[in-house]
Structure 1
Amino acid sequence: MPEQPILLFEQQDHIATITLNRPETRHAISESDMVEALVSACHRLNEDDSIRVAILTATGSTFCSGGNLKDMRDKQGMFAGDEKALMENYRQGIQRIPLALSQVEVPLIAAVNGAAVGAGCDLACMCDIRIASDTALFAESFINMGLIPGDGGAWFLPRVIGISRATEMALTGRSIDAETACRWGLVSEVVRGDELMSCANAIAQEIAANPPLALKATKRLLQQGQTMPLPELLAASASLQATLHGTRDHSEAVNAFLEKRKPQFTGQ
């Protein structure tokens, strides 16, 4: 039987679905081939103008276990070498994932089907929208291994749930269930496991129905708003808005609204 790919990339209409597919490691993302696969998927999302939104999920009952603990124990893979080598392994390995995901232009939905632990929790936070199965759990559990969030979690998690909750998760290392994650704002919706992908696709379809250029611009502004001073954000908003006013999709949206018909957007 041929070996299954570690990452599945599928597209239906304007929606791409990226599925982690290494259940034997609970979809650990510390191995170099998984890093390469995720980075390549991000490039593919940006290069294909027919894609307007993407969903990130995993096979089986785990979303992502983060780092491979067996590799940590055996000091192999990205966990091999002296202190200088380890630092470079992080920079050239798992840290490429947050950098690549931060450059994805289309909205990205995490459909968290199970445990999202350590870097797996951070991976979910790197997405724009998160929904969870009722069996999902989340843990910023690096402290339990005597480590810190080496993949950017200290940047992402506080921006999603606030510094107090993020500090509590990071310093206790304990897990929270899906309902708590929803209450804390880590996910926006909790659904039954058998409804997770249909829910994610429904959100994706609603997003994909909007003008593609405006979708990308809105995502970019929301990201910039996390760190940019208000005057600079307003200047960026004015520049983007001026550009969008000249697009065919803007004209189509206005005309369709006035003519009481469904708009047809082309990304132009």
Structure 2
Amino acid sequence: MSFLRIEQEGPLVVLTLNAPERRNAISSFADCEEVEAACRRIARDATVRCVIVTGADPAFCAGGDLKAMRDRTGIMAAEGPADMRENYRNGIQRIPLALWELDVPTVAAINGPAIGAGLDLACMCDIRIASEKAVFAESFVRVGIVPGDGGAWLLPRAVGLSRAAEMSFTGDPLNAQEGLEARLVSRVVPHGELMEAARALASRITRNPPTVLRMTKRLLREGQHMSLASLLEMSAAYQAIAQETEDHREAVDAMLSKREPRFTGR
């Protein structure tokens, strides 16, 4: 059975981690390849305007596979530190490079525990909403390892350095409400309403012009490490492109005519 279930609903793609028997833990190179391949496919498909990432109940993602760590199987099979380093680079580290760099807006629908690499996976998404059953933990220290998939870069950007340090140094979990208070998620909803809420949010995103959505996300990403002057230059270039699109003219005409716009991505 595939680790990742992919469903496309018009301009929306739903990616579901689908290994509930292991709480959607990421345990093999194949798991990582499936996520990376899905991101490549989405990046090439100009019709996609939003992606929802979620997990098959009862968990969002339990992170790494503890049994594989103990038995040194799958990604954890290595003959010494040099091999293990390459396993990380050729395995789980492919996921943040693919998902974080995806130009399409992404929404994490966190339906249950998001632990270790699972929490980092959620932080790779642009927007995070949570079920009341969600639990969050940057728990690598609890199993004697460091965040190996970018968590030390991702988590501070989500909750700030002080809270990220507290979570990383203690490994203590946050419940859904604590995650909301830490600004790790933007809202918490009843468990049975999570996907409905995620789809409603995605619907508000997908009604907008696809090319402009992707450029807007890229500006938000680049703005986290560029100078203001450099970002303004990039914004001017993107604006010059946007204002020459058919979708821009359609948006203005629809607004002036008080009707719903029809965007084509051109």
Give the TM-score normalised by the residue count of structure 1.
0.97
Alpha-carbon distance in structure 1 between the residues aligned to 2:43 and 2:182: 31
Q: State the partner residue of 1:244.
A: 242
Alpha-carbon distance in structure 2 between the residues aligned to 1:116 and 1:106: 22
Q: Is residue 15 of structure 1 aligned with residue 12 of structure 2?
A: yes
What is the Cα deviation at residue 219 of structure 1? 0.3
Alpha-carbon distance in structure 2 between the residues aligned to 1:228 and 1:153: 21
Out of 137-146 and 74-83, give the one that drifted further: 74-83
Q: State the partner residue of 2:89.
A: 91
Q: State the partner residue of 1:31.
A: 28
Q: State the partner residue of 2:261.
A: 263
Q: State the partner residue of 2:141.
A: 143
| Letter of the 1:241 counterpart | Q
Q: Is residue 179 of structure 1 aligned with residue 152 of structure 2?
A: no
Unpaired stretches in structure 2, ≥5 consecutive residues: none
Alpha-carbon distance in structure 2 between the residues aligned to 1:52 and 1:248: 17
Out of 46-55 and 188-197, give the one that drifted further: 46-55
| Letter of the 2:24 counterpart | H
Alpha-carbon distance in structure 1 between the residues aligned to 2:5 and 2:72: 28
Q: How many residues align?
A: 265
Alpha-carbon distance in structure 2 between the residues aligned to 1:211 and 1:172: 43
Alpha-carbon distance in structure 2 between the residues aligned to 1:140 and 1:182: 16
Q: State the partner residue of 1:63.
A: 60
What is the Cα deviation at residue 137 of structure 1? 0.4
Alpha-carbon distance in structure 2 between the residues aligned to 1:155 and 1:52: 26
What is the Cα deviation at residue 47 of structure 1? 1.5
Given that 1:28 and 1:64 are in contact with CA atoms closer than 8 Å, whether structure 2 keeps it comes out as: yes
Runs of 4+ in structure 1 deviating by more than 6 angstroms, as ranges, are none
Of 217, 220, 225, which residue of structure 2 is paired with 1:219?
Answer: 217
Alpha-carbon distance in structure 2 between the residues aligned to 1:201 and 1:265: 19
Q: Deviations over 1:65-103 (max 9, x none)?
A: 111100100112221220100001000100000001122
| Letter of the 2:180 counterpart | C
What is the Cα deviation at residue 222 of structure 1? 0.4
Alpha-carbon distance in structure 2 between the residues aligned to 1:102 and 1:198: 24
Given that 1:106 and 1:219 are in contact with CA atoms closer than 8 Å, whether structure 2 keeps it comes out as: yes
Q: State the partner residue of 2:130.
A: 132
Q: State the partner residue of 1:42.
A: 39
Alpha-carbon distance in structure 2 between the residues aligned to 1:149 and 1:212: 34
What is the Cα deviation at residue 7 of structure 1? 1.0
Q: State the partner residue of 2:100.
A: 102
| Letter of the 1:33 counterpart | A
Given that 2:47 and 2:210 are in contact with CA atoms closer than 8 Å, whether structure 1 keeps it comes out as: no
Alpha-carbon distance in structure 1 between the residues aligned to 2:260 and 2:75: 51
Give the TM-score normalised by the residue count of structure 2.
0.98
| Letter of the 1:112 counterpart | I
| Letter of the 2:193 counterpart | E
What is the Cα deviation at residue 23 of structure 1? 1.1
Give the match's secondary structure for 1:62.
Answer: coil
Unpaired stretches in structure 1, ≥5 consecutive residues: none
Of 163, 166, 169, which residue of structure 1 is paired with 2:164?
Answer: 166
Give the match's secondary structure for 1:30.
Answer: coil
| Letter of the 2:2 counterpart | P
